[in-house]
Amino acid sequence: MTFVSALACRRCGTRAGKTAVIGCAAGKDRTGIVAAMLLELLGGDREPIVADFVESNAVFPRMPLTRAQLDPVFELVDRSGGIETFLGEVMGLDADLGIAYAKSQMAAGAPLPLGGKVFISVSDMHKDEVAEVARQYTDLGFELIATGGTAAVLEKAGLQVQRIHKLQEGRPNAVDLLKNKEIQLVINTPSGAVPRADEVKIRTTAVYTGTPIMTTLSSARAAALGIAALKKSGYSVKPVQEYH
């Protein structure tokens, strides 16, 4: 078997806890050898034709939940009501990392916007990197919205920012703007292992309103790449059978 450029092996879980391999490609390193063995076990008798990138994304419900509180960072904050709110994962396949990420967002029901306003609020540990990420979005034509601490960092870097109140400071705040569809994308990194109440409210409202939310700076960068690629050339699709 001829090795191709990269390893891309994904699995999907079932209610019974079983796992099925749904995509696999071999690479030139030791992980590629494992992938080649997997393909052989799966009955692959020809060189796989694969996308270079496979991006997965979580799927959450959008209806209000009365006995469970949803947070996309921690999947499910409260299981006491017996409602399972994390519905599973979807994936996007493409030779372009950004487009693969964009496809995974589409499949999750929160497609990436091509314009509008981005709300950014990051923890102190991410403030050194946030200006570079925010500039990617202003270069794509987006406007920035932020609360005090993050806004100060972005303004110091020479970026124009619309300042809004934190939830406990008054209104309008991020939840108000999300409900009014005045925010098209959220970048909100968690402050620690135990999320603050305002973080949970913002992320939960983003899920309910179908607003794409990035909870790491790496996913925010991938989203920016996806938006740039979509604006430049759009995307194409093909049957999954063509990938193996």
74-108 per-position pLDDT tens digit: 444 443 333 334 556 777 888 888 888 888 888 88
**DSSP-derived pairing of the beta strands 213-214 and 185-188:** parallel
Residues 6-30 have a mean pLDDT of 39
Q: Which two tokens stand for residue 46?
A: 């020809």
CATH superfamily of 112-230: Methylglyoxal synthase-like domain (3.40.50.1380)
The one-character DSSP state at 17 is: S
Token duo for residue 36: 């080649």
Rounded-to-integer distance, Cα 242 and Cα 244, Å: 6
C-beta separation of 150 from 160 below 8 A: no
pTM over 0.95: no
Give the whole-angstrom CA distance, residue 131 versus residue 153: 7
For 157-214, write each residue's pLDDT tens digit. Answer: 999 999 999 998 999 999 999 999 999 999 999 876 555 778 888 988 998 888 999 9
What are the sequence ranges of the domains in the chain? 1-50, 112-230
According to DSSP, residue 165 is labeled: B
